[in-house]
Structure 1
Amino acid sequence: MAIAPSSLLSSLQGGLIVSCQAPADSPLHVPEIIAAMAEAAVNQGATGIRVDSPAHVRAVRQRLPTIPIIGLWKQVCADSEVYITPQFHHAEAIAQAGADIIALDATERPRPQGETLAEIVQRVQDNLALPIMADIDRLEAARIAQQLGIEMIGTTLYGYTNATLEQSPPAWNLLQTLVEEHLGFIICEGGINSPEMAQRAMALGANAVVVGTAITGIDILVQRYHRAILKQ
């Protein structure tokens, strides 16, 4: 059973959200393994989990029935650069799998098949009645997200869009501006690879911090160590 929206933000406030994901070609890309990662994270203090795909959301929900889940569905579309929950039917599937919050790309980029961000947000609000996490890349996108009534703003796509390719996460300056403008429940996500960086995000005013690769990215982390050793 999904958690009541009224208690979600308070339960995530000041906490660590762990992104439990794995590349599609990884042996870790199995619902039961992702769910085990999530349980291990919660056992050590994580207050929420961020997870990709209906199957993985469903597995995490079965294992952790009372922990807030931010769900998304990464889908590559030929006619758009948007890949994080790009269309409403992706959001609907994530909701049906048991997510408490729907994360979606809220950048200003065109979405696939002519759907607009405003249309998708309205349908999520009307049909699914779940809060949304807007994955944004810059201040303008955050302002639009707030105008649309999106409750949570994440710096997830800072440094990953054409508009921000010259920037490298973490999005310290963007985070500070989002906090100063009171643009909602602000989540610092992207590039947080040490406890000290997570601590800095909170000191700058983030309501919560998402950490993914630095905790659960075994494939990427081993690859980095391996390549570094080969360069010796």
Structure 2
Amino acid sequence: MQLELIRNATLKITYAGHVLLIDPYFAPRHSLPSFTGRSPNPMTELPRSTDEILGGVELVIVSHLHTDHFDAVAKERVTKSLPILCQPGDEGSIRDAGFIDVTPLADTTVWNGITITPRQGSHGLGPVIEKMGRVIGLTLAAPGEPTVYWAGDTVLYRPVIETIRQVSPDIIVTHSCGAKWDGDLIVMDAEQTVEVTRLAPEAIVVATHMEALDHATITRQDLRQTADATGVDPSRLLIPADGETLRLDK
């Protein structure tokens, strides 16, 4: 498989001969408001044009409707006829944006030989969940391909741990910027990401969703330093740059 980190959570994945785009966030640098007063968002520019990013895409997956996962520019630029999978409850809003082939991912779905299964996530713990709303992760499986667990916008908590243990994924994609909302952690930080490598000692962990938003607290360098200090093999924790493509085998 081939995994290209575009920016933030946006991934372009070539898997079982098909091209998937996850959580398109196409806003130009500094075109959206700050979350914390530190900087307008996003803090970085896209590494390539939206036309290049969308080239060859056959399926779009939208995990939730926060603007850094499906923004106004993406709603304008993504072809309205492309099939979209989303979490249950979001399909109406996506259809209202003009998309005509929208399917809620309520259960395991097979699309062109790829088995896509929704997985639980929690965008923080405690009262902050009411502000953040529902989110999902997912797993991908296909003959001859590595099993992928894309955890999504979640902290490390019991359902994520149970998914890792039950699925035994070959590849785990985490959101690891340590973003906080009103002081509460809403995605994984460095320590939780390192714990994922411990929970899945045979898996490759790919840390994404970093250095794009001003409520993040962990940089790529912070994560690497924490991982090195705890003895994580660098080949098992990959921290791609925006625009970087990884080729990952089973």
Asked if TM exceeds 0.5, the reply is no
Provide the TM-score with structure 1 as the length reference: 0.41
Normalization by structure 2: what TM-score?
0.39
